[in-house]
Structure 1
Amino acid sequence: MTLDDLRVFVAVCRTGSLSAVARDLTCTQSAVSQHIKRLERETGISLLERHPRGVIPTPAGRLLHTAAAGGLGDIDHALRRLRDLVRGEAGSVRVTTGATTVRHFMSEAVVAFRHRHPGVSLEFQTATSSRSCFDALLAGGLDLAWITLGEPVRGIELRPVVELPWVLAVAADDPMATKSRIAPADLADIRLLALPQNATSRSHLDAWLAGAGIDPASDTSVSDWDTAILLAELGLGHAIVPDLPAWHGPTHPDLRLVPIPDLPALWTGWAVRRWESLSPPARAFADTVEASCEQAFGARPDGPDRRRRTVNACS
């Protein structure tokens, strides 16, 4: 059993596909299978179930995957830190997050960090969901993930940073635009622009709508909050989205954002494997982003406990 065997196994569990891992590693599917077979031979038990559309870990495979993913992530992170020391480099910070996060939460912080730490390399990797961010963190090689906070995940530490109240985004000439606030009953007849199916914000919103007995019509879905805002401003539907400062002001003259106070706010912030293992540049970047967000969004002392904490519950 080698580290490469375990790395390939973890990748197969993450993707559910031998062929996808083979493409990522630029090797043959047979070579990937050999890694799995060697592990199964040494453990004496089947680790994967083969299905027509891919593979899933067996109960034994899930046990090995949980242990291996955490250990390999630690090893890969340590090796990257050691390479920086050997090369005498200032280090690097690798962040995974959604497509529009940098613009809404980090743009000023990135500029400030670059001025203070010109020798540090910054790398951003786009993810499609918080779940994808968690997988990338557990796989190793990344320092930080900026996510919309939802259900906890074993082995991930969360740090809430920004509270986001919800608003109804509508065109300026929409009848809803004249309201000072939106009540749940007001949402029954809207034409909803649906948020991405796998997004934490979508799950949060769907649960609240279902609890309130509201099932708005929806014939259009979007890939991110910014697209929802654009379509709402064009009068093509109504968007229920977290309120962001960039959508206020003269850049959106035909947009109105009406508060929905009954809808519990979202929190967004950092997810990491372990705060104490972060490199000094990564901690400095996280702190810089937090300070910038506090200026842009304001301090919110009435929110959830913002202390760094490890979440041990399963997702």
Structure 2
Amino acid sequence: MPELDLRLLQSFLAVAEEGGITRASARLHLAQQAVSAQMRQLEHTLGVALLVRTSRGVLLTAAGRELATGGPAALEHVDRLVERVRGVARGESGKLRLACKPHATAEFALEVTEAIEARVPGVDIELTTASTLPEELTLLATGAVDAAFLWAPIGDPRLPYAPVRSDRRMVALAADHPLAGRRQVQLADLADEPVIRPAGPVAANVLAHWLAEPRPGGRLAKRGPAADRSEDHLLLVARGRGVWLAPEPISRYFPSPRVRWLPVTDAEPSTLVAVWTPESPSALVSRLIAEVRALTGWHDS
């Protein structure tokens, strides 16, 4: 079996595409004599004539046309093999088990998963859906998943995290609420509105974020009923039991004729973070963070 030098194949493809050694030499930044020597060496290795030299360049023989047709795929195959080998060396192989709330990640989860699996073919990303923060934290704590996407603060200082997206804050109001006709509101407009809050035991900083505290002048938010899932929050809003402050992606994921979503112009934005366990495959987590940030346009300040 002949030993095909990939550099010779790359040069041949340049000659075939350019239709001549002179133009190919300029493209490859090599001397014409060097490219001519490479073509003779390639023909000798394969034992066939690939080119017919003419006064206006070169013509491909039947064998040359066959090599020009199949050569790019061969190079791409080798490139992908090299990337897989390097990925294994970097630890970018194996399985990454990822938990995500659809309303938080619907705009990028599948795109990121497909991008990573395409660029690092040895990777298998397993997606698990969760509806609430406690569900995701439980999945992480029990080792059922390696990483998750949460809105900060996450309420568990033991877990490392990295920000990947910033979302402006919206408020959900009943469609017949007196403020529903506005285009936007401020926190002062919501001062007397009961705010629907997370159910169950929640860390103080997590609760403060979802209530948008402290308010202007240091005032605390009026506590409304508690709910666990996003759907339950929206049912309470639609029934006029309170308002719900939430990141903007939720407003796109849960449109409802009974609920009106408005931007809250002076509320701190919500930051979506990738969270992982200390036992997670660090190389895969790093690749995940990089891919999500590339998609969302996040830049560390």
Shift of 1:129: 3.4
Shift of 1:242: 1.7
Alpha carbons of structure 1 residues 253 and 127: separation in structure 2 relative to 1, 3 Å: closer
Aligned twin of 2:184: 181
Shift of 1:239: 1.2
Q: Which runs of 5 or more structure 2 residues have no equivalent in the other structure?
A: 1-87
Encode CA deviations 1:266-298: one digit per residue, 9 max, x unaligned: 211112356995244x44444333344x1xxxx
1:142-157 map, 5 Å: 142-150=145-153, 156-157=159-160
Shift of 1:201: 4.5
Alpha carbons of structure 1 residues 201 and 259: separation in structure 2 relative to 1, 3 Å: farther
- Conserved? CA contact 2:171–2:243, under 8 Å: yes
- Conserved? CA contact 2:163–2:274, under 8 Å: yes
Aligned twin of 1:208: 213
Shift of 1:143: 2.8
Work out whether 1:196 is the aligned partner of 2:199. Answer: yes
Distance 2:148 2:117 in 1: 19
Distance 2:108 2:102 in 1: 11
Shift of 1:182: 2.1
Aligned twin of 1:225: 230
- Conserved? CA contact 2:186–2:267, under 8 Å: no
Structure 1 residue matching 2:162: 3-state secondary structure: strand
Distance 2:125 2:111 in 1: 17
**Residue correspondences, number:** 207
Shift of 1:160: 0.7
1:54-65 map, 5 Å: none
Shift of 1:93: 0.8
- Conserved? CA contact 1:195–1:202, under 8 Å: yes
Structure 2 residue matching 1:175: 3-state secondary structure: coil
Structure 1 residue matching 2:213: 3-state secondary structure: helix
- Conserved? CA contact 1:195–1:225, under 8 Å: no
Aligned twin of 2:164: 161
Q: Which runs of 5 or more structure 1 residues have no equivalent in the other structure?
A: 1-84, 307-315
Distance 2:194 2:126 in 1: 40
Structure 2 residue matching 1:290: 3-state secondary structure: helix
Work out whether 1:240 is the aligned partner of 2:223. Answer: no
Work out whether 1:257 is the aligned partner of 2:261. Answer: yes
Highest Rg: 1 or 2?
2
- Conserved? CA contact 1:94–1:123, under 8 Å: yes
Shift of 1:234: 5.3
- Conserved? CA contact 1:208–1:263, under 8 Å: no
Aligned residues: CA RMSD: 4.1
Identity within the alignment, %: 19
Encode CA deviations 1:57-114: one digit per residue, 9 max, x unaligned: xxxxxxxxxxxxxxxxxxxxxxxxxxxx9xxxx6211124557544465244345556
Of 123, 128, 132, which residue of structure 2 is paired with 1:124? 128
Aligned twin of 1:95: 98
Structure 2 residue matching 1:178: 3-state secondary structure: coil
- Conserved? CA contact 1:165–1:242, under 8 Å: yes
TM-score by length of 1: 0.50
- Conserved? CA contact 1:148–1:201, under 8 Å: no
- Conserved? CA contact 2:98–2:125, under 8 Å: no
Alpha carbons of structure 1 residues 176 and 129: separation in structure 2 relative to 1, 3 Å: same
Distance 2:254 2:99 in 1: 31
Distance 1:202 1:227 in 2: 17
What is the one-letter code of the residue matched to 2:198? L
Distance 1:131 1:235 in 2: 27
Distance 1:154 1:252 in 2: 35
Work out whether 1:271 is the aligned partner of 2:275. Answer: yes
